[in-house]
Amino acid sequence: MAQERVLRVSDIEALIAEKAFLVETGTIPPPNPEPEELTLLWPTKYKVVTQWYGINAHLYSKFGLPGHEGLDMRAPMGDEIYAVADGEVYRVEVDADAHNYGIHVRIKHPTNRGLYKSVYAHFMETDIRVGDNVKRGQIIGKANNTGNSYGAHLHFTLKLEGIGDDSFMPYDIVNPVPYFDDLWPGNGWQVAVGGNLRSRPEVASDSLIRYLAPGPIVEAREFHNDWWKIVVNGTVGWFWEPGYKLSAV
């Protein structure tokens, strides 16, 4: 007589748990998530830009830069400065004379697109330390003009690790403007310096749509490194914008 086999409930539960995450043969695995777009909180009380990214090349050439490498924002002496996004502090400089940024804080922000890094310069003081995990909107210091600075303000720089030669700036620096909800899309942009409107974000003979002279108001929709997808008089195209060719309306 065949011996009966008794199955315990615990055995069945274990078997189900073991097979729960197996994918059937021949099925397509789920796609990787879309790259996460980093959206930044404005880091000062006053939403005013006092010096735009990419401008004043004559002032920054001595530092090996083609122009201003970030945004200067209005921040009177002693004003609180806030973290633009969740992240981990990876560098803090507390010696006012040790760097052009003076007393400053740097935070890294991992995303699916890559590792972003935010830099906050010219502080009066900071209690933040390397290794701290900070939250979006957390106070990370107070404004001043330590370092290479004339008058209290916040200098903000954004980096995307490994962007290399794809950027107008060296040292992984990217234009921070499109990452701020307060500026992007904003109320529109005016062409300040003329340039070519192209069908795709690259310089090629077959991509040219037409030349844009200074003056018209355009709508900014997307960005890819230093190329912005804009709409001008109903025409959609790509415009190379390293920071100084469009001005916010």
Share of the chain above pLDDT 70, in %: 85
> Which of 133, 148, 179 lies at the terminal end of a domain, its last residue?
179
User: pLDDT for 17-54, tens place per residue?
Assistant: 444 333 333 344 444 444 457 999 999 999 999 999 99
1: tokens are 């007589």
Q: Do 118 and 236 sit in the same domain of this protein?
A: no
Does any domain span residue 83? yes
- C-alpha 106/C-alpha 157 separation (Å) is 9
- Per-residue pLDDT band for 187 (boundaries 50, 70, 90) equals confident
- C-alpha 103/C-alpha 84 separation (Å) is 18
Q: Do 225 and 113 sit in the same domain of this protein?
A: no
**Which domain does 229 fall in, by range?**
189-248
Q: Which amino acid is at 215?
A: G
pTM of the predicted protein model: 0.80
Q: Taking 90 as the threshold, does the pLDDT of residue 12 lie above it?
A: no
Q: Do 78 and 113 sit in the same domain of this protein?
A: yes
Q: Contact, 218 vs 238, CB < 8 A?
A: no
Nearest Cα neighbor of 93 from 158, 166, 147 is 147
Q: Do 106 and 56 sit in the same domain of this protein?
A: yes
* Overall number of domains in the chain: 2
What's the number of CA atoms in the CB half-sphere (13 Å) around residue 86? 2
pLDDT score at 10: 56
Q: Do 162 and 138 sit in the same domain of this protein?
A: yes
pLDDT score at 125: 97
Does any domain span residue 24? no
Q: Do 195 and 238 sit in the same domain of this protein?
A: yes
Q: Taking 80 as the threshold, does the pLDDT of residue 236 lie above it?
A: yes
Does any domain span residue 168? yes
Q: Do 80 and 165 sit in the same domain of this protein?
A: yes
> Which of 157, 179, 201 lies at the terminal end of a domain, its last residue?
179
Q: Do 117 and 72 sit in the same domain of this protein?
A: yes
